[in-house]
Amino acid sequence: MKTVLITGATGDVGTHLRRELAGKYKLRLSDRRPLKNKSKSESFLKADISKMSDALRITKGADAIVHLGGYSVEGPWEGILKANIIGCYNVFEAARRNGVKRIVFPTSNHAVGFYRRDQTIDHRVYPKPDSRYGVSKVFGEALGSLYADKYGMEMFMIRIGNVNPAPIDKRRLAIWFSPRDLAQLVSIGIDHPGIRFEIVYGVSGNTRSWYDNSNAVRLGYRPQDDAETHAAEVLAREKPGDPRAEMYQGGVFVHVEEVPNPAAPKKGKKK
């Protein structure tokens, strides 16, 4: 059974992924926040990936890494720089030093968020980030390409849409990624032989998708879910949004300076 390190394991995506992958791999979980409700089959290492010493410690002995750790929304440059630029470099470099060849990097739809919603794009389009957060994900993709070509590592880039049990608004009808489809695509990233550098879209088989995800299909991805089953309910409660946000695939990220950070400490609680 492969030992798979999941960074950012306490976040929403990490929590879904842990549940879906339980029993398939030996899961080594890491985050700078403490982990609650750890199962007997999981191990946990508290770490801050902006520190190289921590990145080296958690990656040692892993067979593959799913690098979810980082600042997950648009926000201040200082936070994104520390978590998504320095942290990403540290994890990739620590993996190289420790001989871990396979990395699954969930990049983001926000790396290409300034494409219009009336366009269908594939994995070969030029990046058009919609935010500083999106820029950091483009950096991760470029860094992965470097480590694949220069060091022979195996890099699987997933431009994730939105992971949730169900889509929550009209935009998510195009980019929804069900937890079980997430687990399927991540497993392909961990196990598929012959990976060098691949970019795929992390979305379910959505009728309204903006993405030609044929590269994922080529590698064996067969999504089981379609957001269209939730469309009537979602559209019934949808209200008109900002015209610019409605034009582009990135939604509100194209015009806001900050989105509430789900990982931020709640007011009144100590960090």
Instruction: List, by residue number, the catalytic residues.
Output: 133
Task: Single out the residue of 71, 74, 98 nearest to residue 84, CA to CA.
Answer: 71
At a CB cut-off of 8 Å and minimum separation 6, what does 127 contact?
111, 112, 134, 138, 141
Angle at 114 between CA 112 and CA 118, to 5 degrees: 100
Strands 42-46 and 64-67: unpaired
Cα–Cα distance list, 184 to 48, 125, 178 (Å): 28, 24, 10
Q: CA-CA distance, 164 to 147, in Å (whole number)?
A: 31
Task: Single out the residue of 98, 28, 97, 22 nearest to residue 67, CA to CA.
Answer: 28
Backbone angles phi, psi at 130, to 5 degrees: -105, 5
Q: Quick check: helix, strand or coil at residue 220? A: coil
DSSP summary character for residue 102: E
Cα–Cα distance list, 140 to 41, 62, 79, 108 (Å): 30, 20, 16, 10
Q: CA-CA distance, 37 to 33, in Å (whole number)?
A: 13
Token pair of 68 as six digits: 């979810």
268 half-sphere exposure, CB direction, 13 A CA radius: 0
